[in-house]
Amino acid sequence: MAVILVLVGLGLGATFLRGQVPLGNAQTSAQTPAASTPAAEAGAKLQNEQNTIQVVARYEPGLVYISTETQVVTQDPFGMMFGQGGQTQVQQGVGSGFFVNAAGDILTNYHVVAGEDSSGAAQKISVRVMGQQKSVPAKVIGLAPQYDLALIRPTGLDAGLVRPIPLGNSDTLKVGQKAIAMGAPFGLDFSVTEGIVSSTARQIPIGFGGVSGQGITQKAIQTDAAINPGNSGGPLLDSGGRVIGINTQIISPGVQAGGTGQSAGVGFAIPINAAKNLLPRLQAAKGGIVTAPRIGLTAGLSAQAQGQNVPVGLSALSPQGKEQLGVPESGLVVGEVTPGSPAAKAGLKAGTDVQQFRGGQIVLGGDVITAADGDPVDGVEDLQAALIDKKQGDTVTLKVWRGGQTRDVKVTLDASSYQ
Q: What CATH class is the domain 165-277? A: mainly beta
Residues 268 and 277: beta-carbon distance below 8 Å: no
What pLDDT does 411 receive? 97
Q: Is 117 a catalytic residue?
A: no
How far apart (Å, rounded) are the C-alpha atoms in residues 64 and 152? 11
Of these residues, 96, 111, 238, 367, which one is catalytic? 111
* Residue 318 is among the residues annotated as catalytic for this protein: no
Per-residue pLDDT in tens (0 to 9) along the chain, 419 residues: 445 566 676 654 332 222 322 223 333 334 445 566 777 776 767 888 999 999 999 999 999 999 999 887 665 555 555 555 556 777 888 999 999 999 999 999 999 999 877 678 899 999 999 999 999 999 999 999 989 999 999 999 999 999 999 999 999 999 999 999 999 988 888 999 999 999 998 888 888 765 445 567 788 999 999 888 889 999 999 999 999 999 998 876 654 445 555 556 789 999 999 999 899 999 999 999 998 899 999 999 998 876 677 888 999 899 998 999 999 999 999 999 999 999 999 999 999 999 988 888 999 999 999 999 999 999 888 898 888 888 899 999 999 999 999 999 999 999 999 87
Q: Is CATH 2.40.10.10 what the domain over 60-73+87-161 is classified as, yes or no?
A: yes
Active site (annotated) includes residue 394: no
Phi-psi map region of 82: left, alpha, beta (phi>0 left; psi -120 to 50 alpha): alpha
Task: Report the alpha-carbon angle 306-312-313, nearest 5.
Answer: 160
Say if residues 383 and 347 touch (Cβ distance below 8 Å): no
Q: Which of 67, 96, 198, 232 is catalytic?
A: 232
CA–CA distance, 243 with 101 (Å, rounded to integer): 13
3-state secondary structure of 134: coil
**Contact (Cβ atoms closer than 8 angstroms) between residue 146 and residue 210:** yes
CA angle in degrees (0–180, nearest 5) for 338-341-347: 90
Contact of 316 with 333, CB cutoff 8 Å: no
Type and span of the H or E element at 355: strand 353-357
Distance CA 181, CA 185 (A): 10
Distance from C-alpha of 81 to C-alpha of 146, rounded to nearest angstrom:
40
Q: With CA atoms as reference, report the closest residue to 240 among 184, 190, 172.
A: 172
Per the CATH hierarchy, to which homologous superfamily does domain 297-418 belong? PDZ domain (2.30.42.10)
Answer yes or no: same fold for 60-73+87-161 and 165-277: yes
Residue ranges of domains in the chain? 60-73+87-161, 165-277, 297-418
Measured between alpha carbons, how far is 405 from 165 in angstroms, rounded to an integer?
A: 51
| 8 and 97 Cβ atoms separated by less than 8 Å | no
| DSSP assignment letter at 53 | H
Out of 96, 105, 148, 417, pick the active-site residue: 148
Decide: 267 and 250 in contact? Cβ < 8 Å: yes
Rounded Cα distance between 165 and 152, Å, is 15
Q: What is the length of the chain? A: 419
Measured distance CA(198)–CA(281) in Å, rounded: 30
